[in-house]
Chain A
């Protein structure tokens, strides 16, 4: 599984629950922001300025730091037409890249299939968390779903090591043997794939050596696991995780701050970790959420909205502001929300074609304008 040439990987961080765009990239130079956000706002003097209109939340210092180095593309006003404000449906739309019909295949599952058409590597796609997000699901495409890298695999609850080894040996005998019928065959093959994937994945932490100290929060630990997997050269190309809940209907000031502090420091540490190993040019990070939030606050938090922000981060990214920051003027609002101005499938297509060098059309079901976010190679 040693790679012969540099393979490009994608890390996806899903901000579940609907991230508040207005308090992430803050239009602090616009008085209307403070009019609509009487309580749930970030004070002008604490915003991390991008220019004299916009700035990062003060809880995103590590990402702002990367932005200043030209490594962060901010995709403003990302979304899709006829926004759906249900968490589940909107997340489904982002996962399947199908806003108008109900889709069943995940866009990243299709990417994984096209990267490894004969499923040679059971670890081309790895989800860090339990339960496969629909973004990764396509029938016949193996994807490992890892709760905890150190203990990942079968029988984590058998604490006695000798007994666990005996149970695994029995499992290998039972699943590896020839049995009657297609169904038993299929089960056997899947069981052996799971075992193989787990055996390989578990070796990653042992090989890992780094000076970076990640935080103890879950998103930091997930990104650390991702770094371990990438640095172990297991051929993993798509790495997925989610963090939340960004559903800040109440108490937003405190909770949103903590969420972004964790995500930003995790991303900053991950960047430093890859940098320390000279591998930063091989990976980009995509951060997205299913929707943004209402322009006007509700006194304590914000309700479901539309129009949001995504980030692409990496040393191969040409940093800057992309898309348009949507107008928040009363007359320009969409039922109290922001209008989107670029389809999320533009960002997907950009990643698929310019980073993975695959044909985006069959994956996102159409042709979308792409951003010029990568450095000339």
Chain B
């Protein structure tokens, strides 16, 4: 592989992981910036840049109200598809899977989208800040019952999951630590619960009205007694607990491992242990900055190596958004955008509706026969249409390169390059070539997207999207 092709392949890999795949034009721009400089821009993106809210709301009244899940899910999908800061959305999706809060208990989406926005703002910053913001997040307070956690009558739900699912992991604290943690978070509650409940009684179609719950710290309901947590004793409040949690090696390992599995590889092997321990070092050196941990990962030799490439199965949301980005659809308000949210649901990852607080089971658990059929049919349909801007672009680019007849091998290799580049097994490539060879005429002429050759390119892209390799990130 020549240097340019290698750069392209590594940049495409980075953008599949740190984003939702990038188009060829975007990749070329990133490459001219350079790899490490691209990583920095991903980590420190500045202001969000995506399809503007006023544009979205002009077309989707329901996405102003944010009552129903499919509208709210579609709103987030718009942002993922059109963002110029892909890692901001990708990390929000990471936290959404880790701190999995679902519509099921909340019955309104406004408060959930507020949580997602909090993930955007703090998602690449300090894990300490993140855990404090999470503890104040109204959706989380309701999801894990911290509004029922009172002085003298604790509800352990949030205290337990904070330790078990959100930071250290089981085996690194005692049952007593769980209780003491819950005590420290008494008084971290909702400001307007009564108002929202009254609304619920009067307005059952819009169970909680059109505003969201808000956070309030209630000193009178906070347990100011002495607590012992992880071997230390004092009158701890929630911030103190978080301060102690983030100092733990178990927390560094937990977060590094979860980031590694989301951004690098589904399976942990000996090679991954090395990079995970470098990420743990970065965690402590940077005072718990997620950006520092990801910089270490993205800039490592391991990340750019064969071992890391294609070592993850794309999640349904990654798959849907990546395909839409490459095909160039949903770049402008599109009235059937709700269909996209349903697609994520059909494929097993209903956005904003994780099945439990444990989030989704990932890796091979994403794939069952029904979900695979949904993935393939969605992607094959997106690419099969010569009028989609992204498909048109690929046809145009190949036409300009060949202008005239093109051999099946070149057509297949060109498509594999421009849809990724993605590397496929010889068998896959041979099957694709055989498919293209069945067309009598595959000539591509500049400006003609209705030729048989152009249709062949679209079908070939659709078939590539149905391969096993395309399911990998």
Contacts and interface: CB of A to CB of B under 8 A. Distances in A.
Interface of A: 86, 88-89, 92, 102, 104, 122, 127, 130-132, 134, 139, 142-145, 153-158, 163, 166-167, 169-171, 173-175, 177-180, 183-184, 186-188, 190-191, 193-194, 197-198, 249-250, 298, 303-304
A86 B107 contact: yes
Contact of B467 (A157, A163, A174): A174
B434 A174 contact: no
Contacts of B466: 154-155, 167, 171, 174
A298 B204 CA distance: 10
Nearest to B312: A183
Nearest to A187: B468
Nearest to A184: B468
B269 interface: no
Contacts of A163: 459
B468 A132 contact: no
B355 A104 contact: yes
Contact of B103 (A88, A171, A187): A88
B313 A155 contact: no
Contacts of B356: 102, 104
Given A153-B373, A158-B384, A177-B427, 18 more contacts: A88-B102, A88-B353, A89-B104, A130-B346, A130-B374, A132-B371, A143-B370, A145-B373, A145-B374, A167-B380, A167-B462, A170-B432, A170-B434, A170-B435, A177-B428, A183-B266, A187-B471, A303-B204
Contacts of A153: 373
B204 A194 contact: no
A361 to B, nearest CB: 23
Which 4 interchain pairs have the tightest Cβ spacing? A88-B104, A145-B370, A194-B369, A303-B204
Nearest to A182: B364
B373 A132 contact: no
A102 B438 CA distance: 52
Interface of B: 102-105, 107, 204-205, 266, 313, 342, 345-346, 348, 353, 355-358, 361, 363-365, 367-374, 376-377, 380-381, 384, 425, 427-428, 430-432, 434-435, 438, 459, 462-463, 466-468, 471-472
Given A88-B353, A158-B384, A175 B468 contact: yes
A79 to B, nearest CB: 18
Given A86-B107, A303-B204, A190 B355 contact: no
Nearest to A175: B468
A174 B373 contact: no
A75 B364 CA distance: 40
Contacts of B370: 127, 131-132, 143-145, 194
B110 to A, nearest CB: 16
B435 A191 contact: no
Contacts of B361: 139
Interface of B is mostly: helix
A268 B367 CA distance: 37
A88 B466 CA distance: 32
Contacts of B104: 86, 88-89, 92
Nearest to B471: A187
Contacts of A131: 342, 345-346, 370, 374
Contacts of B363: 183
23 contacts: A88-B107, A132-B368, A142-B368, A145-B370, A155-B462, A157-B377, A157-B380, A158-B384, A167-B380, A170-B432, A171-B466, A173-B427, A174-B432, A174-B467, A177-B428, A183-B472, A187-B367, A187-B471, A190-B369, A190-B372, A194-B372, A198-B373, A303-B204
Contact of A183 (B204, B313, B355, B467): B313
Residue with the greatest number of chain A CB neighbours at <10 A, chosen from B105, B361, B430, B431: B431
Contacts of A303: 204
Contacts of A88: 102-105, 107, 353
A174 B356 CA distance: 35
A132 B358 CA distance: 19
B377 A154 contact: yes
A303 B363 CA distance: 40
A255 B368 CA distance: 36
B369 A193 contact: yes
B365 A139 contact: yes
Nearest to B104: A88
B425 A177 contact: yes
Contact of A188 (B105, B204, B468): B468
A144 B427 contact: no
Contacts of B438: 166
A173 B431 contact: yes
B435 A167 contact: yes
Given A88-B103, A174-B428, A190-B367, A157 B381 contact: yes
A143 B363 CA distance: 19
A142 to B, nearest CB: 6
Contacts of A127: 370
Nearest to A193: B369
Contacts of A175: 468
A143 B467 CA distance: 21
Contacts of B103: 88
A245 to B, nearest CB: 12
Contacts of B367: 186-187, 190
B105 A143 contact: no
Contacts of B467: 174
Nearest to B204: A303
Contact of B364 (A130, A143, A155, A186): A186
A86 B69 CA distance: 13
Contact of B463 (A104, A157, A170, A188): A170
Given A88-B353, A130-B346, A249-B205, A170 B368 contact: no
Contacts of B376: 154-155
B372 A179 contact: no
A179 B377 contact: no
Nearest to B435: A170
B370 to A, nearest CB: 4
B432 A156 contact: no
Nearest to B430: A173
Contacts of A304: 204
Residue with the greatest number of chain B CB neighbours at <10 A, chosen from A171, A183, A184, A303: A183
Contacts of A178: 427
Contact of A250 (B205, B346, B355, B372): B205
Nearest to B381: A157
A177 B427 CA distance: 7
Contacts of A170: 431-432, 434-435, 463
A178 B356 CA distance: 36
B461 to A, nearest CB: 12
Contacts of B348: 132
